[in-house]
């Protein structure tokens, strides 16, 4: 069906008459962890075939009632996003590149045969919720308010086809510092048995099923004594794709002359917004950057002969995480010194400084609320 010309949506505000008392909110903010504590409100927007997007609302956070024949429960039309709102030194609040998340949400929707939420509606939802629940944005360094937009089918029925009704929602959850005791390198397991995504599959979409399919490999990594799983390409099981819920970067050489390479977008890895931002930030810092294919052998040999000095992973949750060691069925090795490398840490500081307002936002990435 042809997309409907859609008038701009206005989100109707229904603020809670029972927000959490300030003392209780502060107690929950003291050690929020990740994804356990939720703010007072949420945004809900409905989509119906023939009508388009409608009934945009900001409402008190609360449970949903779901019919047992809800199509998402059976056939998995479910996509999501993840972005953060940061408290700046001057007390203001800003989110990082929300339009990039809105655009990736649209591309995930297209892949799952779901309707596309207009970018401006996505961004408005973020603004409305963060403004309403601004007291939930942590003030401690390295803490933030994690925003989780998501959409799923709400039609009731067991026929396998794109649903004709969907619900978009936005919830928010204060997140503690990812590395409260200082940045620590992770160990990784190269998954040769399981693949995350294949050519023509859903790897470049942020759909729920990708994460369900990853859990058994992550459990295998843990059994091997590793923190995270690294995915290889599905065809040759040779090319590095990404790590758990983060993209990877390979650092060749040292200092400002270091060359920084990330696996090219193969169609089966997620185009991370942190990945994209670091390509530009690394260039600003004088590094040569590239998107290229990197094989297991390139990784192993580069560490053995010392040309590959550092490897790190990047994503919204942890910003940048150094990779310290690698295990696979064939070989185990240490990455560089096994400790966080100087190029990794410099990039981490540089990106955090932009996000928290301590460095100028030369790319126009910050969206003040």
Q: What is the DSSP letter of 244?
A: T
- β-pairing verdict for 186-191 and 228-232: parallel
Q: Which is nearer to ligand PMP, 41 or 367 (CB)?
A: 367
For residue 274, the minimal CB distance to ligand PMP (Å) is 3
For 219, 300, 330, 353, the CA distances from 195, given in Å and listed in that order, are 14, 20, 17, 35
Q: Which is nearer to ligand PMP, 25 or 275 (CB)?
A: 275
For residue 315, the minimal CB distance to ligand PMP (Å) is 3
Which residues make up the interface to ligand PMP (CB under 6 A)? 82, 242, 245-247, 270, 272-275, 315-316
Listed residue (41, 148, 30, 29) closest to 85, CA to CA: 148
Q: Which is nearer to ligand PMP, 58 or 188 (CB)?
A: 188
Listed residue (280, 262, 260) closest to 271, CA to CA: 262
Listed residue (98, 102, 175) closest to 142, CA to CA: 175
For residue 230, the minimal CB distance to ligand PMP (Å) is 11
Listed residue (190, 62, 46) closest to 121, CA to CA: 46
For residue 61, the minimal CB distance to ligand PMP (Å) is 22
- CA–CA gap between residue 241 and residue 267 (Å, rounded): 10
- CA–CA gap between residue 274 and residue 128 (Å, rounded): 24
Q: Which is nearer to ligand PMP, 273 or 323 (CB)?
A: 273
For residue 105, the minimal CB distance to ligand PMP (Å) is 11
Half-sphere exposure (CA, 13 Å, Cβ side) for 9? 27
Q: Which is nearer to ligand PMP, 147 or 308 (CB)?
A: 147
For residue 344, the minimal CB distance to ligand PMP (Å) is 16
Q: Which is nearer to ligand PMP, 97 or 287 (CB)?
A: 97
């Amino acid at each position: 069906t042809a997309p409907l010309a859609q008038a701009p949506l206005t989100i109707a505000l229904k603020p809670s008459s029972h927000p959490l008392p300030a003392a209780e909110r502060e107690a929950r903010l003291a050690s929020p962890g990740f994804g356990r504590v939720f703010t007072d409100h949420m945004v809900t927007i409905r989509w119906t075939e023939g009508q388009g997007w409608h009934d945009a609302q900001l409402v008190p956070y609360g449970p949903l009632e779901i019919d047992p024949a809800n199509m998402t429960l059976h056939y998995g039309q479910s996509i999501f996003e993840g972005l953060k709102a940061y408290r700046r030194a001057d007390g203001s609040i800003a989110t990082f590149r929300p339009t990039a998340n809105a655009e990736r949400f649209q591309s995930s929707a297209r892949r799952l045969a779901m309707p596309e939420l207009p970018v401006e509606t996505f961004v408005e939802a973020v603004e409305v919720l963060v403004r309403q629940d601004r007291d939930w944005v942590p003030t401690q360094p390295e803490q933030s308010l994690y925003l989780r937009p998501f959409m799923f089918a709400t039609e009731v029925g067991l026929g396998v086809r794109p649903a004709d009704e969907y619900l978009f929602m936005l919830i928010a959850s204060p997140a503690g510092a990812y590395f409260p005791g200082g940045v620590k390198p992770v160990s990784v397991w190269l998954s040769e048995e399981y693949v995350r995504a294949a050519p023509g599959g859903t790897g470049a979409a942020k759909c729920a099923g990708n994460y369900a399919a990853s859990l058994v490999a992550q459990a295998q990594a843990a059994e091997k004594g590793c923190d995270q799983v690294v995915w290889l390409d599905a065809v040759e099981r040779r090319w590095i794709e990404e790590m758990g819920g983060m993209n990877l970067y390979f650092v060749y050489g040292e200092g400002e002359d270091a060359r920084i390479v990330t696996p090219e977008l193969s169609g089966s890895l997620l185009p991370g917004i942190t990945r994209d931002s670091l390509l530009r930030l690394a260039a600003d810092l004088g590094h040569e950057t590239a998107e290229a294919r990197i094989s297991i052998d390139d990784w192993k040999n580069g560490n053995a002969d010392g040309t590959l000095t550092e490897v790190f992973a990047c994503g919204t949750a942890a910003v940048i995480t150094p990779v310290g060691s690698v295990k696979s069925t064939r070989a185990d090795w240490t990455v560089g010194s096994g400790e966080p490398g100087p190029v990794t840490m410099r990039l981490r500081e540089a990106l955090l400084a932009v996000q928290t307002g301590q460095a100028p936002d030369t790319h126009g990435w910050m969206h003040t609320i």
